[in-house]
Structure 1
Amino acid sequence: MPEPEIPEDITARSLDASARNQLKTLSKENAEAVAKHLAMAALLIDEDPARAHEHALAATRRAGRVAVVRETAAITAYAVGDFALALRELRTYRRISGRDDQIALMVDSERGVGRPDRALEVGRAVDRTVLPTDVRVHLAIAMSGARLDLGEAERALQELDIPELDPDRAFAWSPDLFNARATVLEELGRHDEAASWRARAEVAADVIAGANGDDQWETVEIDEVVEESVEGESASTSVIADHDIADTAVDDAGERG
């Protein structure tokens, strides 16, 4: 099968260094080709997931026993809606790496193939206390979605009652968490509360994006959130950057008071 084309400006160094390190078991020539395909997958995943998946599959054909290759194949399969393939790749990735850092994607993929009960089983089988915070949060979101699939809205809300659900501070995963809570509240008919969480998600996402262009921001404090009333009135919005980036204050996000 012919491999997808790679632009000349894409090199092995276009791939993240930690991912390149996993390719050291391959021959130099093969490692370079695999790195380029993985770099292309990362580059295209948002704008053209189908093409990203083609590159991931090309990498898999070359280096199917490398964890990051199977992980990339799983992520791109999920992105194109091939949840059965995503599950197979995720299981292989987990077996090779011994890691549970893609557990939320496994839960969501089980949902994607129409098995919300199985999704809950998969999520409950891991020890959440040893998971990184962002993984634990996204697992809670996935578990909440599985509860919604089963028509268990109240229990879906309970899945999101985690310490990381802080309405006044935003981390990388906070917009997703806030939006997930809003979705459940809407399902419960609690529309005013849902609108408040939607607004917080938007504020958090906007300030995070504006505070740091290189994705190295850490946290943001949210003082107030725009909340639309039924009459169309709204409150003011204020956000404060909570952490320096590379020891430099983020001036355009506001200074910590």
Structure 2
Amino acid sequence: MDVPDIPEDVTGQALDRDAHGRLRTLSKDNAEDVARHLVMAGRLIDDDPELAYRHAQVALARGGRVDVVREAAALTAYATGRYAEALREFRTVTRLSGSHAHLALVADCERGLGRPEKALEIAQSADAKGLDPMSRTELDLVVAGARADLHQFDAALLVLDRIKAVDADQAKRVDEARLVIRVAAGLDASGELTGEATTGSEWVDGELSSVADVDEVEVVVYDLEDDDDA
């Protein structure tokens, strides 16, 4: 296996206490090694997701029975667009931990695999009913994206209008998604909507970047006050 380098000053102690504690089932030396690769995966996932994925794969090979290791493998696979692999890993994380905290990402993987209907099924599942407000909002953003994938733009906007963002970052993402859907609806109405849908934040960035000048696009604004269908 190609093992990426780790700076000498990176230690496993940089891993949060709970995650580090879950590595106790490994030998001491192996736990430290796995922890260092997990630290690197966490540091790199935003700026260099491919390298983060490589670190997570090393950790997976050396500690694959630990849920936080599988979680890192899932998150980095998702970040690099390996949606089928990410889906398998997220399901393993759920089996090991009993948590559905990543249900929104599971649904988004289904979108990435071209199965928006499956994403909608996940959002209506029993597992989705117990999500905390933050996780529920994340799932609703995926639902809006799935509706847009199906060209159900009015339903997508209605989902966004019902979201109660829990912080400023989520509120910003909801606003961005709303703009994207309105732009996409305008392009669809004019027959100019092309390309395959992407997932999560990529969907927002990708759809906006595909529009040369948003101000020149005829945006369709739907009146949803009397529409109760989601």
Calculate the TM-score normalised by the size of structure 2.
0.76
The residue matched to 1:160 in structure 2 has which SS? helix
Instruction: Decide which moves more: 129-138 or 140-149.
Output: 129-138
Contact 1:138 1:177 in 2 (8 A): no
Which residues of structure 2 form unaligned runs of 5+?
188-214, 217-230
CA distances 1:134-168 after superposition (whole Å, capped 9, x unpaired)? 11111000111011111111111122233515xxx
Length, aligned pairs only? 189
Q: How does 1:68-147 map to 2 (within 5 A)?
A: 68-147=68-147
State the Cα distance separating 1:127 from its structure 2 match.
4.7
Larger radius of gyration: 1
Whether 1:54 and 2:54 are equivalent positions in the alignment is yes
Deviations 1:155-193 (A, max 9, x none): 11122233515xxx9434222222122222323449xxx
Please give the alpha-carbon distance, in whole angstroms, between the structure 1 residues aligned to 2:24 and 2:170. Answer: 32
Name the structure with the higher strand share. 1
Cα RMSD after superposing both structures: 2.0
Shift of 1:19: 1.4
- Classify 1:90/1:161 alpha carbon distance in 2 versus 1 (closer, same or farther; 3 Å): same
Show the counterpart of 2:157: 157
Aligned to 1:173: 170
The aligned counterpart of 2:44 is 44
Which structure shows the bigger proportion of residues in helix conformation?
2
Corresponding residue for residue 20 of structure 1: 20
| Superimposed CA distance per residue, residues 120-141 of structure 1 (whole angstroms, 9 cap, x where no aligned partner) | 1122114545212211111000
- The gaps in structure 1 that reach 5 residues or longer are 191-228, 231-257
Distance of 2:162 and 2:19 partners within structure 1: 31
Distance in 2 between residues matched to 1:127 and 1:110, nearest whole Å: 16
Percent of aligned pairs with the same residue? 46
**Cα gap change, 1:85 to 1:146, in 2 (>3 Å):** same
Answer yes or no: is the 8 Å Cα contact 1:34–1:62 preserved in 2.
yes
Do 1:49 and 1:76's aligned partners in 2 also have CA atoms closer than 8 Å?
Answer: yes
Of the structure 1 ranges 18-27 and 172-181, higher mean CA displacement relative to structure 2 is found in 172-181
- For normalisation by structure 1, the TM-score amounts to 0.69
Letter in 2 for 1:171: A
Q: Deviations over 1:172-220 (max 9, x none)?
A: 4222222122222323449xxxxxxxxxxxxxxxxxxxxxxxxxxxxxx
CA distance in 1 between counterparts of 2:73 and 2:130 reads 25
Q: Please give the alpha-carbon distance, in whole angstroms, between the structure 2 residues aligned to 1:2 and 1:70.
A: 19
User: CA separation in 2, counterparts of 1:83 and 1:127?
Assistant: 20
Counterpart residue type for residue 103 of structure 1:
L
